[in-house]
């Protein structure tokens, strides 16, 4: 079947720290992979995506590489800001359906 597993949060970092949020997936075939971000009181927003193995998605300083050999799509950012505090969701799209991870809350302290 298809599923997404994310590291549990919350993750608490100081401003300018390096961020990694782990995401691994199980899927048949060739899924597309996504990261979404949800700020308090809002809907999810697409952060970045990758559609095939070895693709790197990037946006707003965030990056993630589609690793088929390790079935992973870890989210990274070199220097986080307080404004990055949000919940981050990893997702895959396969056979006409989206599958979301449970979300990882990130708190960035000044």
Partner 1 sequence: EAQVTQNPRYLITVTGKKLTVTCSQNMNHEYMSWYRQDPGLGLRQIYYSMNVEVTDKGDVPEGYKVSRKEKRNFPLILESPSPNQTSLYFCASSSLSPTGNYGYTFGSGTRLTVV
- The residue ranges that bind partner 1 (CB under 8 A) are 31-32, 34, 36, 42-46, 49, 51-52, 89, 93, 96-98, 100-103
CB of 7 to partner 1, least distance (A): 13
CB-count exposure of residue 72 (10 Å: 0-12, 13-18, 19+): middle
Q: Which of 29, 95, 37 is nearest to 64 (CA)?
A: 37
State the first-to-last Cα distance of the chain, in angstroms, to the nearest integer: 41
Residue 32 or residue 85: which is nearer to partner 1 going by CB?
Answer: 32
Residue 3 or residue 14: which is nearer to partner 1 going by CB?
Answer: 3
Residue 70 or residue 96: which is nearer to partner 1 going by CB?
Answer: 96
């Amino acid at each position: 079947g298809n599923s997404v597993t994310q590291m549990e949060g919350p993750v608490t970092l100081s401003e300018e720290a390096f961020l990694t949020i782990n995401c691994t997936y199980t899927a048949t075939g060739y899924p597309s992979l996504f990261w979404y971000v949800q700020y308090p009181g809002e809907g999810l927003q697409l952060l970045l995506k990758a559609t095939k193995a070895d693709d790197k998605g990037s946006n707003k300083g965030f990056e993630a590489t589609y690793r088929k050999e390790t079935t992973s799509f870890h989210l990274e950012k070199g220097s986080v800001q307080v404004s990055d505090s949000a919940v981050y969701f990893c997702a895959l799209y396969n056979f006409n359906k989206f599958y979301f991870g449970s979300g990882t809350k990130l708190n960035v302290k000044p």
